[in-house]
Amino acid sequence: MSVALPKIVFIGGKGGVGKSTLASAFATFTASQNKKTLLVSTDPAHNLKDIFTFKPSPTAIQIDKNLFILEIDPFKEVQEYVDSVATATKSFITAKSYHMMDSYYENIKESGVAQESALFDRLIRIITQEEWGQIVIDTAPTGHTLRLFALPKVLRSWSQTLLSEQEKSSHLEGIVGHIEGKNILKDRIEERYLIYTKFFNQLHNPQECGIIFVLNPEFLPIQETQRAVESLKKENLKPYAIIVNKIPPPSQDSFFQERFEMSEKYLQQIEQQFQSFLLIKIPLKPYDILHKQGLNEIVKEILFQLES
């Protein structure tokens, strides 16, 4: 097979459209091509353990010679993330403020913002610091994914502003120098800035990163995909491909024939609406897509369309 996928592939879309199955299919394929592949799930409602039949683990587990799977636990990540931020913060405050700071960070552990920040932090470390031949990311439903793509630019700009202000503020340098050494805050911010910049550059390099949206030939998934494409455009990004999944066949049964005719109408809309993108069509299967055999069948259909 001559298809060369970007090194990092995000699979996104509305809940229930088949993201996990397709992410698993892509990861199975790249692993079969002798690439050390990490399949990551960022969706709290993980499905990968059901597809590949393994027990949940806080670390990546090896499924095959070149295939590893990591289901990120957002609750564990937010605990570790907030604790690390709290520890770092204590370097810049007096001991009498520790109790107040601990109480504040304990309260924000339950917030959605903290969970997304922790998830982003873990994901960005995987992408920028770990050595993999291929990373396939099975994301949570669309809104979460889009915020992920917007964050690098925001955080990069934010850290750049902090660096600029730190340079100008002799008062801040005096405080930092008194507590833990003159340049500690600057070093921390510079480290984050470099990481955010690396991830930002990877996202905007088509050879490094590809975003694939999955939808079904139905009204709501089409609308959500359109909004997702428009959101990406604001970040100067575009999908690598759009996969139309679970396309029903014609039927002698009147009910299923109506569903087929409806899907045909929506397929025409999809072809017109997303004509500037690579479209891949996957028919509805009469069986569950589980384990290697089913995933390989999906891979064959995808590769045939990618190569044609």
The strand pair at 8-13 and 134-138 is best described as parallel
Residue 177: is its pLDDT beyond 70? Answer: no
Q: What pLDDT does 84 receive?
A: 74
Residue 101 lies in a domain: no
Residue 126 lies in a domain: yes
Euclidean distance between CA atoms 53 and 56, whole angstroms: 10
Kind and range of the H or E element at 16? none
Question: Mean pLDDT over all residues of the chain?
Answer: 84
Q: Residue 148 is part of a domain; what is its CATH number?
A: 3.40.50.300
The strand pair at 67-71 and 61-62 is best described as antiparallel
Euclidean distance between CA atoms 292 and 222, whole angstroms: 29
Residue 82 lies in a domain: no
Instruction: Enter the tokens of residue 286.
Output: 């009469």
Instruction: Enter the tokens of residue 51.
Output: 């597809």
Phi/psi of residue 276, nearest 5 degrees: -85, 0
Q: Pick 123 or 161 by higher pLDDT.
A: 123
Instruction: Enter the tokens of residue 244.
Output: 């139309």
Determine the structural domain holding residue 60 and report its residue range.
8-77+111-307
**213-246 per-position pLDDT tens digit:** 999 999 999 999 999 999 999 989 999 999 999 9
**120-152 per-position pLDDT tens digit:** 888 888 998 889 999 999 987 766 677 777 777
Q: Considering its fold, how many domains does the chain have in total?
A: 1
Task: State the pTM of this model.
Answer: 0.85
Residue 133 lies in a domain: yes
Distance of CA 76 to the CA centre of its chain: 18
Q: Pick 222 or 201 by higher pLDDT.
A: 222
Which positions ≥6 away from 75 have C-beta within 8 Å? 115
Residue 94 lies in a domain: no
Residue 3 lies in a domain: no
Residue 181 lies in a domain: yes
Name beta bridge partners: 215: 244
**292-305 per-position pLDDT tens digit:** 888 988 988 988 88
Residue 20 lies in a domain: yes
Segment 265-271 shows an average pLDDT of 98
Segment 59-82 shows an average pLDDT of 87
